[in-house]
Amino acid sequence: MPKIIPPEILLKGYSRGIFPMSESRNDEDVEWFSARQRGVIPIDQFKVSSNVRRLIRQGRYDCRVNQSFRKVIEECATRESTWISELIINSFEVLHLAGHAHSVEIYNRENKLVGGLYGVTLGAAFFGESMFKVEKEADKVALWHCHRILESNEFELWDTQFYTNHLAQFGCTEIPAVEYDVLLMNALQKDCEFKLP
């Protein structure tokens, strides 16, 4: 049986505002991280480009949730430099089976998985982990659907862990750790279901 980080250890970490990362795909261990400045997307301030909205209106892609979780996380790990190791893949698959890790999947008209993202839920918090695309804008379409899920199910915290210029285009902002801790504590007091509206 492959080595895993037990789900209860992962959830305890997330409840304390820390998250695991490996050094590389072949790393057999993880380090736990936090951030003095935390990246979050305020759910009421999410935005995408008009081009992404047009793709959604055209119905070019189909969105599904939790149908191909392992495939999504493996696609997220398929890049030159990655912090997603086999240990993380196996651990998060078990966390998914326990109902706390979820994938948003984007399929094209040929029913091929072409984009998606995955993350962890705990209470009313969603911790976004990684996303991928193999067709133009498919990752952004996944983010749009993820926002719909979080908004419609009354999630309170969308944690991106780190702030990046790429995430800024979707409304990501940076807040001090002390402010983040309050948002996290409040979000953990409520239960939300991660499902399509």
pLDDT tens readout for residues 21-65? 999 999 999 999 998 899 999 999 999 999 999 999 999 999 999
Residue whose C-alpha is closest to residue 46's, from 159, 178, 143: 143
Q: Which domains does the chain have, with CATH numbers?
A: 7-187 (3.40.630.70)
Q: 115-145, pLDDT tens digit by residue?
A: 999 999 999 999 999 999 999 999 999 999 9
Number of other residues whose CB lies within 10 A of the CB of residue 143: 24
Return the exposure string of 88-123: e unless at least 16 CB atoms fall within 10 Å of the residue's CB, then b: bbbbbbbbbeeebbbbbbbbeeeeebbbbbbbbbbb
CB-side neighbour CA atoms (13 Å) of 160: 25
Residue 154 DSSP one-character state: T
C-alpha to C-alpha distance for 35 and 115, rounded to whole angstroms: 28
Q: Which residue has the tokens 């651990």?
A: 91
pLDDT in tens, 67-92: 999 999 999 999 989 999 999 999 99
Q: What is the pTM of this model?
A: 0.96
